[in-house]
Amino acid sequence: MDKVDEPIVRQVPYSRDGLTTLKAEGKDPVIDKFLLQYPTVYVIHTDKKSANQVTVYVGETSDIHRRTIQHLVDDPAKRADWASFSNDRNAQMIVIGHQHFNKSLTMDIENRLMLYLSGVPAVKQLNNRRTNPQNQYYTAREKNNIFVHVWEKLHHINKVVFPVQKVVEDSAMFKASPFHALTDEQLSAKEQIFDHVKSALGSKEVGQLILVEGEAGSGKTVLLSSLFYELATQLDQNGTETDAPVNKLSVYTLVNHEEQLKVYQQIATKLGISSPKDERVMRPTRFINQHLASDTPVDVILVDEAHLLWTQGKQSYRGKNQLMDLLLRARVVIAVFDKHQVLRTNGYWEDQQLQKIEKLAGENIINLKQQMRMQASPRTIAWVDSLVHAHKVLPIPKDRQYEIRIFNSPAELQAAIKNKKSDNENGLSRLLATFDWPYTQKGKDKPKWYVKIGSWRAPWNLELPRTKHRGNKDIPWAEQTESLEEVGSTFTIQGFDLNFAGVIIGPSVKFRQGRIVFDPSKSCDSGATNKRTLSDNSKVSVANELIENELNVLLTRGVHGLYIYAVDPGLRKALLVAQNVDSSARDLPLVAEDRRKYKTDNNN
């Protein structure tokens, strides 16, 4: 890390007296120059000490004295959040300065503070009116180092509002925050979507579809979160961009995944987008039932994990296709979709159905290709891709960025994952498994469910009693302390990141005659193994495809590494051999686009 000058951070009461105190400190020429004359970033927060109770505002200004007077005198009459701050006698203001601060750098630090504070459990409400990531400027290269020093000083001032940086980075809310700086690919996609939404708002059409496609870990969720925030806060019903639209868009985010739903609900509540009286995040079935097709359509629906939408009816849903029902209820639907993450027969898409939705989207199909989750070389990513989709066990590449290890027992795998707990860089690591052992959440007197292999066993996800702290029930499974002793499944981990993923590949995945094969008879997921009734009324098994997708979801969770134990002796032996073979001795595919070729080879 390059050395940078220390930032200047001062906390004073949020009041005229506090401002007087700050000005008095201005007798120090350094304080006078860098806090009172230079551009600054500031944080105003209430002083509640209990979890999920703190309200925070983050801003930047070229004149902290004038800006604070405006907040104290003018803003309370216009906005409830400022009135609340004024009525809190214990509210505090922290002013941050640095000798290299300019407008662009202060806006970047402001945005970074919003990003991190959106992942802090103690922060109930986070106020700001924009996202401010900047492009290149003179001091941009110092941004990361300055922020680390800023956060360290903030942590020293208040450990509740500003926890240890790594702890925040491991939270699901941080990872799904709309304040991440987007890649060029994501920015291009966002601009395309914004342009289409603006155009669509000018027409009276209903059911315009935008598809965002991409493999697991390609940054789809961050893009959708950014779109949700900006559409809800910066665009009016005429498609005009403004910091505080009067006629805001009616924007909803829908997801069929329970763990992801919790995260979006917390983010939307924290940022003031959703409230109990005006819910903007919910399950698709609930939205469909609340909004009849004959009602006035909402403006925009965003669907994360759209591959989990149902394509046939079930007890709680009487329709035939949730995506089609959503198109009847919105002017624009933005659907994030990956056909390789469909896991249940009730969400299975036939080829003609996929072709139909792609035709509906027309030119509005955006494909994200950059791998954002796995911090691995192209050869390593291609190795995982080949294992899952080409059904080949190739020599494991040597990769300085990403560790793949094969284990000879589940106990050794579990111990390795637990050892990551004390590693500050890789603490959020969990054990996962294919759904090859019985499990159900239903029934008051249901037995405890375990993943059992020989004499070793560990409870399935959500089986252990949960402690009542920090709103534990609203924390995603992987972040709960108890989950370190459990085994996760696609139902608790899909859509989330782990630093290291330890995956038990169960008996439904075998190795025979030099290739991976699937054995649906060994799967305990009836939602994947039950036959699917197709549009021509024929009943077919799509279990092989769905088990492959399950393997894809599990093996792509790790940011820094993947640890594997295979129950099938043949597969375990093949993986152990692959671990010890010099990968440079054989050519490995370099890109995931080779999958089609592999599929063709394997089918011949």
pLDDT in tens, 144-201: 899 999 999 999 999 999 999 998 998 999 999 999 989 999 999 999 999 999 888 8
Same domain, 279 and 391: no
Same domain, 311 and 385: no
* Distance of alpha carbon 368 from alpha carbon 553, whole angstroms: 17
Same domain, 164 and 249: no
Same domain, 260 and 164: no
Name the residue among 175, 228, 243 with its Cα closest to residue 197.
228
Q: Is residue 215 part of a domain?
A: yes
Tokens for 343, please give them. Answer: 């896991």
Is the Cβ–Cβ distance between 305 and 343 less than 8 Å? Answer: no
Q: Is residue 591 part of a domain?
A: yes
Q: Give pLDDT, residue 49.
A: 57
Is the Cβ–Cβ distance between 547 and 518 less than 8 Å? Answer: yes
154 Cβ contact list (under 8 Å, min separation 6): 9, 43, 94, 161, 162
Same domain, 568 and 424: yes
Q: What is the three-class DSSP state of 117? A: helix
Same domain, 127 and 221: no
Q: Is residue 258 part of a domain?
A: yes
Q: Does the pLDDT of residue 471 top 60, yes or no?
A: no
With bands split at pLDDT 50, 70 and 90, how would you rate the model's confidence at 590?
very low
* Distance of alpha carbon 335 from alpha carbon 305, whole angstroms: 8
Q: Give the residue-averaged pLDDT of 421-449.
A: 79
Q: Is residue 174 part of a domain?
A: no
Q: How many domains does the chain have?
A: 3
Q: Is residue 176 part of a domain?
A: no
Name the residue among 491, 487, 504, 484 with its Cα closest to residue 448.
487
Query: Strand 365-368 to strand 403-406: parallel, antiparallel, or no bridges (unpaired)?
Result: unpaired
Tokens for 376, please give them. Answer: 């691995």
- Which residue did the predictor score with more confidence, 71 or 202? 71
Give the predicted TM-score (pTM) of the model.
0.88
Q: Is the dihedral of CA 166, 46, 225, 140 positive or negative?
A: negative
Same domain, 355 and 383: no
219 Cβ contact list (under 8 Å, min separation 6): 182, 183, 185, 186, 368, 370, 372
Same domain, 28 and 153: yes
- Interval 329-367: pLDDT, tens: 999 999 999 999 999 999 999 999 999 999 999 999 999
Same domain, 443 and 575: yes
Domain of 502 in residue numbering reads as 378-603
Q: Does the pLDDT of residue 132 top 70, yes or no?
A: no
Same domain, 442 and 528: yes
- Interval 239-280: pLDDT, tens: 677 666 667 889 999 999 989 999 999 999 999 899 889 999
Same domain, 572 and 425: yes
Same domain, 514 and 578: yes
